[in-house]
Amino acid sequence: MNKIWIEKYKKEILGKFENKIDVALENYNELHLFLKNAQDIPEICNYIYGNLGTRLTTVICTDERKLGNGFVIRHVFGKENGEDVFIFVTSKIDESILSYPSIAMAIPAATLHEREIHDMFGIIPIDNPDTRPLVLHDHWDKNIFPLRKDFGLNTKIPRQEREYPFLKVQGEGICEIPVGPVHAGIIEPGHFRFSVMGENIINLETRLFYAHKGIEKLAESMKIDDVLLLSERIAGDESIANSTAFCQSIEKIASVTIPKRAQQIRTIFGELERLYNHMGSLAGISMDVGFPFGSSRLNILKERLMKLNESLSGSRILFGVNRIGGVRCNITDESKKIITESMDFILSDFENIVTLLKSKSSFIDRLKDTGIIPKRAAQDLGLVGVAARCIGIDVDTRRDHPYSSYLLHKKETPHEVMQREISMQKRNGDVLTRFEVRVQEVLESFDIIRASLNLENDSLYVNRPQNLEPFRSALGYTESHRGQTVHWVMTGENNSIFRYKVRTASFFNWPIIEQSVLNDIVPDFPLVNKSLDLSYSGNDL
Amino acid sequence: MKKKSDKEILGNDIETVRDIGNRSISSNYRGSISFNVEPFNGNEESILDSCPTRALSATKDNKRTTIAVDHGKCIMCGYCSQASPEFITIQSKPASPTKIKKQLSEYSNSQIQSEKSFEEIGNVLREKIKKMFGRSLAIREVDAGSCNGCEIEITALNNPIYDIERFGIHFVASPRHADVLLVTGPASKNMEIALLRTYEATPSPKIVIAVGACACSGGIFGDTYATTGGIDKAIPVDVYIPGCPPRPEVLIQGLLLAVDRMITNGK
């Protein structure tokens, strides 16, 4: 199916830029374009982004100096409307130049990627207006580039004293409120710098990457099966999404097709993960408006789902479900019964609670028109997941790039498509919409799990070949409860990993929080933050 | 819409589980690893090599090989049990917290201690807190780079099922109000200063609890350019809670140990 689309885009791009593109290769649903000259990056990227209607998926940098390629930058674009294609724009950057033209002015979503590459590889994006440090905080040596191959994983770097240049808002009556990285609640570390006029937020600047653990560098020194465990721990609450994406990449590189039963089990666990996390964030929304009754009831359901996770997989947060080539844990007839019984109970209770919450005007008042995401900013920053769907940007990796057994669930009648589109247009991007989108997704997840319980009768996994071909790469992607998660793996010699690039949904969605609180007061910030439910660890890696 | 009775709206009677002890742990649960046969007579290298966090170690004396597991490093992936199913099995009983890091190691010939339920530990804890403080125990949670897994379990302590507040334990918003710091994660370099400042802001006497394999030893993230490899490299730690992540039953055991330690130190 995707062959048709790849041919179409290949013809279109080569027709326009034939003299600027060296070769065009295909790899599953990926179209790789190798540029002759890195100076052509903006022109070709802008064409793919603007004229072909794609979204930026990720920007990957690799240090291929050992292979004689210098540094290589891959700008990845994805079609998100049912045409299952990813377009890679690949260009080499010579070691003596160490810079490339930035695309951030035309494609703002690339800004953070370029800052990250600047920190980790020391390659300068020319014309990017913001080259402040991102991943490596102010205390790091400026000449340290952790993802370069000549940097040792265990190098200890002495601390340097430096101040991070926050944006200063000045004027009469304007105060600064610094919050974090240690917060009042039980949440992950991050710093928020508010500039306020009374209670109104004038500006918010986020400073993240406190939880940076060097996951991408660490993966390069680990065995492939151990990297699977590492991928589960990128963000504890996205363990299935991340490990499935990693497994997909390796399975594509090894040309392994996993059994149907394994695909279905991955789907079931993926949806169970979505369920317990959506329950948690709905409970959080209820808590942050000061309505603990709702949050207590929803937390009871979350705990029940975690108990279900435990009895099915042996881990309350679904660690250890996946393996490369399939899954490790089976769903037996007995566990099917447990799933159906718990789901019936949880679903009826959930519907009761939601009806009750929606009937409380004081609850709805706090949610309505709070934390509105501006649509233009949402498009520019390339939002994914619930954050995008709440403003009517209809993206869902489960439908746009089907994986596991999601292909089976996407059949819609023309009437349903129209209804979906109308409901998308009505969405205005406030906390209430995000609340409703989550409630709807919870109900859909129940349906998907029910439909997937009709398991095929084949094996749980296939063995992968012992030796993987070196320097092959592939993209793995899933829809976590936060949105599209993309992993890119390039194999190295002796079954090692040459480069492991992870881009979770949180990395794309974090910048929008600065835009969405601008019409609100400081006490609304926790509510807006919780309604977006972003991961710090998944962002910081 | 059908009018619902109060009972229907308010829900299902008492949700807080009175006896949520080890009986409630599913038999499938990967709690800790245990050793089957003694003495060990297989190929130790394949077992040691199967562990991604180097939690297993072997000592040889008089031609006998003893394999030990450091629960502070173990992340319960089960790879060792796959490599040698006849020697290592996964049991549902989780590993216990300890005051001394060395005690996290369990040898293939050691015995497992007795078990108490969540409720029983909680009641003992409540008595001790009352005696010691005459008020509740205040906890500040600090995430020093964890994956959020431990946070999910710590948050679960506050849900109506575990409801830790009934034992007089309270999570506070500032380290200035805290008696106990509950620290997770491998102490990432970017969090090091913030962690140190939080520790300094906590009034004495204070207890630091390292929660999870990452906090005990660096876990799977180890000791790299971006992490320090365990909370005790950055600040002094009093109690270690193993697990990846530790479940609420183990967290409350760790809190009991912390209060015990405070009582002994106070005298």
CB contact under 8 A, A213 and B154: no
Same domain, A62 and A181: no
Do the beta carbons of residue B147 and residue A504 sit within 8 Å?
no
Q: DSSP string of A397-440?
A: HHHHS--TTGGGG----HHHHHHHHHHHHH---SHHHHHHHHHH
The pLDDT assigned to A282 comes to 93
A186–chain B Cβ distance below 8 A for any pair: yes
Nearest residue to B69 via CA among B42, B51, B45, B82: B51
Secondary structure class of A272 (helix, strand, coil): helix
- Same structural domain, A265 and A330: yes
Choosing among A228, A233, A482, which should be mutated to test the B contact, i.e. which has the most B CBs within 10 A? A233
Task: Please identify among residues 240-299 of chain A the ones whose CB lies closer than 8 Å to any CB of chain B.
Answer: 280, 296-297, 299
| Structure tokens that stand for A462 in this block | 């296939």
Task: Chain A: give the shortest CA distance to residue B162, in Å.
Answer: 10
* One domain for residues A181 and A239: no
For residues A316 and A255, membership in a common domain is answered with yes
State the smallest CA–CA distance between residue A236 and chain B in angstroms: 4
Cβ(A107)–Cβ(A58) below 8 Å: no
* A151, A183, A207 - which closes a domain: A207
Contact residues, chain A, for B169 at CB < 8 Å: none
Look at A223 and B52 and tell me if their CB atoms are within 8 Å. yes
Q: Flag whether the pTM goes above 0.80.
A: yes
B183 contact residues in A (CB cutoff 8 A) = none
Smallest CA–CA distance, residue A260 to chain B, in Å, is 24
Angstroms from B62 CA to nearest CA on chain A = 34
Task: Specify the pairing of strand B207-211 against strand B239-241.
Answer: parallel
Residue/partner pairs of A343-348 with CB below 8 Å, 24 or more apart: A343/A446, A343/A449, A343/A450, A345/A304, A346/A301, A346/A304, A346/A305, A347/A443, A347/A446
Q: Using only C-alpha atoms, what is the Rg of chain B? A: 20
Evaluate whether residue A260 is within a structural domain. Answer: yes
A-to-B residue pairs, Cβ atoms closer than 8 angstroms: 187
Contact B30, A320 (CB under 8 A): yes
Q: Does residue A114 share a domain with residue A39?
A: yes
Q: CA-CA distance, B158 to B171, in Å (whole number)?
A: 9
Residue ranges of chain A with pLDDT lower than 50?
A: none
Query: What pLDDT, on the 0 to 100 scale, is given for residue B233?
Result: 87
Structure tokens belonging to residue A29:
């649903």
What is the average per-residue pLDDT within B50-58?
A: 84
Cβ of B224 within 8 Å of Cβ of A217? The answer is yes
Q: Within this chain, do residues A293 and A190 fall inside the same structural domain, yes or no?
A: no
Q: Which of A186, A229, A316 to mutate to test the interface with B (most CBs of B within 10 A)?
A: A186
Same domain, A55 and A200: no
- Domain holding A335: CATH number? 1.10.645.10
Whether A108 is covered by a domain: the verdict is yes
Q: Which residue of A has its CA nearest to B82?
A: A328
Task: Please state the domain count of chain A.
Answer: 3
Task: Quote the Cα angle for A374-A375-A381, to 5°.
Answer: 90
More confident residue, B7 or A221: A221
Answer yes or no: is A91 within a domain.
yes
Percent of chain B's residues with pLDDT above 90: 12
Q: How close is the nearest chain A Cα to the Cα of B129, in Å? A: 22
Q: Is residue A502 part of a domain?
A: yes
Asked if residue A530 belongs to a domain, the reply is yes
- Residue A261 placed within a domain: yes
Kindly report the CATH number assigned to the domain that includes residue A17.
Answer: 3.30.460.80
Of A107, A126, A145, the one marking the end of a domain is: A126
Assess A137–B contact: CB distance below 8 Å, yes or no. yes
Residue B23 has pLDDT above 80, yes or no: no
Q: Looking at the structure, do residues A19 and A68 belong to the same domain, yes or no?
A: yes
Test mutation, A143, A155, A191, A213, chain B, max B CBs within 10 A: A213
Q: Is pLDDT above 50 for B20?
A: no
Does A210 sit within 8 Å of B191, measured CB to CB? yes
CA distance A120 to chain B (A): 12
- CB spacing of B224 vs A218 below 8 angstroms: yes
Q: Kindly report the CA angle at A69 between A469 and A507, in degrees rounded to 5? A: 80
CB A320 within 8 A of CB A239: no
List of domains in chain B: 22-94 (3.30.70), 118-266 (3.40.50.12280)
Structure tokens at A473: 């790469």
The confidence band for B21, taking pLDDT boundaries of 50, 70 and 90, is very low
* A260 and A199, same domain (yes or no): no
A80 domain-assigned: yes
- Cβ neighbours of residue A382 closer than 8 Å, sequence gap 6 or more: A55, A56, A109, A508
Whether residue A109 sits in one domain with residue A180: no
CA B89 to CA B92: how far, in whole Å? 10
* A355 at interface of B, judged by CB pairs closer than 8 A: yes
Scanning chain B, the segments in alpha helix (DSSP H) are: 6-10, 44-50, 79-83, 118-133, 149-157, 192-201, 212-217, 248-266
Distances in Å between the Cα of B215 and the Cα atoms of A89, A202, A417 are 41, 38, 49
Q: CB contact, 8 Å: A334 with chain B?
A: no
Q: Do A213 and B227 touch (CB under 8 A)?
A: yes
**Nearest partner of B143 among A537, A281, A505, A316, judged by Cα:** A537
Q: Look at strands B137-143 and B180-184 and give their pairing.
A: parallel
Q: Which of A186, A352, A536 lies closest to B155 in CB terms?
A: A186
Give the best residue of B183, B190, B233 to mutate against chain A (max A CB count within 10 A). Answer: B190
In sequence order, the 6+-apart residues with CB closer than 8 A to the CB of B7 are none
Domain membership flag for residue A229: yes
Chain A: closest CA distance from residue B247 (Å) = 8
Place of tokens 């183990």: B250
Question: In this structure, which amino acid lies at residue A80?
Answer: E
| Residue A520 one-letter amino acid | D
| Residue A459 and residue A343 share a domain | yes
Tokens of A396: 């869902």
- Range of A321's domain? 223-371+397-407+444-506+519-540
Q: Are residues A113 and A254 in the same domain?
A: no
A97 touches chain B (CB under 8 A): no
